[in-house]
Chains A and B, each alone.
Chain A
Amino acid sequence: MGCRLNRCVFGAGVLLAVGLGQAIPVLFDGGLPQVAGEDVLALVLGDARLVMSHALMEKADEYFHGGVRHDDCEGLHHEHHEEEDEAHEEGDHGGGPWAWLNRRIHVQEHRHLTGERSAELLPWLWAACRTSPQNVQAYESSAYVLSKMLNRAGEAARLLEEGVEKNPGSLSLRFSLGELRLNALKDGAGAEQAFLSVRELFRVDGREAGEEERVLALRALFYLGYLSKRRGDLVAVRGFLAEAEALNPRHVCTSDLRKLLDVP
């Protein structure tokens, strides 16, 4: 009898707990102390995700240099690395017997990953993107590795589109997407769409924009002018030139836009 009562009470308790668990979020929507996160990582790590994501980027950079931390080198963002694959010797030779032995055990030079071997960077870059979708640099570096080092422009474009979706306020990601569509995928219409979105976003947030955003807007205007010229739409080119002159009349993009109008 007692056992049966226990089971009934237990069953009722489970039902009540499940019922309340389902009902409370609906009844008190918006009034609960906890805010739902995007995912488990967001819930557990919060803002520490960005720090972790940067650490993973550093790991990718270390892999790029053959497992060696190399602060003097500018990392994944410069194309000249593709051509340099010779090892570079480092210069530190002090520190006594322990340092002497360490120099012979641990590698003191660095080399760059090239070609198909660059795929070794992807796990860390993937983890950097997934750990913090707000890390714009992770998306850009991953897209760079995919498109320039591994010739996988399609995957790079998909990744940048995902980045834009998660960071709608990033001019840099939109601009990178435009450049990728134009140069690697030869998709003029898609590129124009991306550059137009840079222009629109800059118009909205332009007053608070820094120098970097201004330069991106100028470069987007140049590309828009170039694409319009390719279509033969000189009126549009003049419009973009006027916008560029308003931003910075002496910038190289502005003068290049002028040259576009001068050349028949």
Chain B
Amino acid sequence: MSRCVRQLWALSVLSVLELYRRKDLIVVFVLASVILLPLAFFAPFGVSGAGRYMNEVALLLVWLFSAVIGLGVSARLFPPEFESRTVFPLLAKPVGRGTVLAGKYLGALAASLSALAVFYLAYGVLAGVRQGVWFGVVLWQAFLLHAGFIVVLTALGLLGSLVLTASANLTFCGLLTVGMLAFGQRLPALAQAQPAPGRWVLGVIQWVAPHLEFFDLRQRLVHDWPPVGWGVCLMVLAYGMAYAGVCLALAAWVLRRRRF
């Protein structure tokens, strides 16, 4: 048991170090500063006092960068190992394929979540300085649900990296994420409004596709709406865990059956 934990730890630490070695975080911070700093001094029509647009843009960047980092890290876990054939010495060691998969997933998750925590810390400080509200309940809920989003996204990216090429995986996961965030909420209504074949297709998408829109609390955070009930929050997190679990089980099955 302790050996398995040590193996998982070693594999996870490698993924976290990889993210910080590539300096992705520094790049996104510089990019975010370049976008947000001029906006902070913007007074439309000479009138100051607007702040929600700034929160909205900042949160949009947080979502964009966290998705890019999450997908980028998880989609790059296995393909380079396969291409450079370093997967052979790795599997030759007394490490099970399931352990390798779990370790790499946990590493990708830890790396993405650490980046997310840094983003939310920066957002919390920015919102606190501008509006005087320091880390309210909605912000904590937004962070928790966003972490749930990362759990699902990295699992999807990992599964995709085992069944698709790297570019196809990134494109598919990117489109799925944007599509579900934009239309997920309206899928039931869209499905009901379609004639028979379209309704079935949308119905299947509604049941199979990851409902990433559940994890998006930007509207409540930007426009000062009250927090979501904690029961609902836990339900959404449980949904995310279950979906990620299914993706990981599928990924483990694919990896076990894979012939090198």
A interface list, Cβ under 8 A from B: 63, 66-68, 92, 94-96, 98-99, 101-102, 104-107, 116, 119-127, 142, 146, 150, 152, 155, 159
The residue that B44 contacts in the complex, of A67, A105, A126, with Cβ under 8 A, is A126
Q: Please tell me if the beta carbons of A122 and B188 are within 8 angstroms of each other in the complex.
A: no
> Per a CB cutoff under 8 Å, which of B46, B48, B213, B223 touches A155?
B46
In the complex, what distance in Å separates the CA atom of A119 from the CA atom of B43? Answer: 10
Whether B185 contacts A102 by the Cβ 8 Å rule is yes
Contacts of B44 in A (CB 8 A): 122-123, 125-127
Interface of A is mostly: helix
Contact B189–A95 (Cβ < 8 Å): yes
A95-B192, A123-B42 given as contacts; is B220 within 8 A of A107 (CB)? Answer: yes
* Total of A-B residue pairs, C-beta within 8 Å: 87
| CB proximity of A91 to chain B, nearest CB, Å | 13
| Known contacts A66-B223, A107-B225; 10 further A-B pairs (Cβ under 8 A) | A94-B188, A95-B189, A101-B239, A102-B211, A119-B47, A120-B49, A122-B44, A123-B44, A124-B53, A142-B45
A68 to B46, CA, bound (A): 27
Report which of B188, B206, B222, B236 forms a contact with A67, defined as CB distance below 8 A.
B222
Interface residues on B, range: 20 to 34
The distance in angstroms between the C-alpha atoms of A122 and B47, with both chains bound, is: 8
B217 within 8 A of A: yes
Digit string of B204-217 for contact with A (CB within 8 Å is 1, else 0)? 00100001011011
Given A119-B49, A120-B50; A101-B236 close (CB under 8 Å):
yes
Asked whether, in the complex, the Cβ of A99 is within 8 Å of the Cβ of B188, the reply is yes
B228 part of interface (Cβ distance < 8 Å): yes
Q: Which of B42, B44, B192, B214 has the most CB of A within 10 A?
A: B44
Cα A98 to Cα B243 in complex, Å, equals: 14
Q: B residues within 8 A CB of A94? A: 188, 192
Report B-chain residues with C-beta under 8 Å of the C-beta of A142.
Answer: 45
Q: Knowing A95-B188, A105-B232 touch, does A123 contact B53 (C-beta < 8 A)?
A: yes
B45 touches A155 (CB 8 A): yes
Which of B52, B53, B188, B220 contacts A98 (CB under 8 A)?
B188
Is B90 among interface residues, defined by CB-CB distance under 8 A? Answer: no
| A160 → chain B closest CB, angstroms | 12
Q: Nearest Cβ in chain A — how far from B144, in angstroms?
A: 12
CA distance A107 to B223 in the complex (A): 10
Q: How far is the CB of B182 from chain A (nearest CB, A)?
A: 12
| B192 and A63 form a contact (CB under 8 A) | no
In angstroms, Cα B130 to Cα A120, docked, is: 14
CB-defined contacts of B213 to chain A, threshold 8 Å? 102, 105-106
- Does B45 contact A101, Cβ atoms closer than 8 Å? no
**In the complex, what residues of A have CB within 8 A of residue B184's CB?**
98, 102
List the 9 closest A-B pairs by CB distance, nearest first.
A95-B188, A126-B44, A67-B223, A119-B49, A123-B53, A122-B44, A99-B188, A104-B232, A67-B219
In whole angstroms, how far apart are the Cα atoms of A101 and B184 in the complex?
Answer: 12
- In whole Å, how far is B230's beta carbon from the nearest beta carbon of chain A? 11
